[in-house]
């Protein structure tokens, strides 16, 4: 379960970084290139991915 959530968190983080890079114009070749709106969407995805990653691996294990 942890590994699956970790993979999803890393994918969200990477896609968010690509969106942010395109929004700032660092990654050309897309409709999103140079549109600051995509920087903000990508930044929110990066923060969400980091939060999910931290929540996944820093959570205390359940006691049975």
Residue 46: inside a domain, yes or no?
yes
pLDDT in tens for each of the 64 residues of the chain?
A: 788 999 999 999 999 999 999 999 999 988 889 899 999 999 999 999 999 999 988 877 777 7
Q: What angle do CA 25, 28, 32 make, to 5 degrees?
A: 70
Burial class (CB in 10 A: 0-12, 13-18, 19+), 61: exposed
Q: What is the pLDDT of residue 39?
A: 96
Domains of the chain: total: 1
Q: What is the pLDDT of residue 22?
A: 95
Return the structure tokens found at 18.
């690509």
Residue 63: inside a domain, yes or no?
no
pTM: 0.85
Residue 64: inside a domain, yes or no?
no
In residues, how long is the chain?
Answer: 64
Q: What is the pLDDT of residue 58?
A: 87
Structural domain span for residue 20: 2-58
Q: Could you please report the per-residue DSSP string of 22-63?
A: HHHTSS-SSTTTT-HHHHHHHHHHHHHHHHHHHHHHHSPPPP
């Amino acid at each position: 379960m942890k590994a699956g959530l970790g993979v999803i968190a890393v994918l969200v983080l990477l896609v968010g970084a690509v969106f942010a890079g395109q929004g700032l114009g660092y990654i050309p070749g897309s409709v999103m290139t140079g549109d600051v709106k995509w920087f903000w969407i990508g930044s929110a995805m990066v923060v969400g991915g980091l939060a999910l990653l931290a929540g996944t691996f820093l959570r205390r294990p359940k006691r049975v």
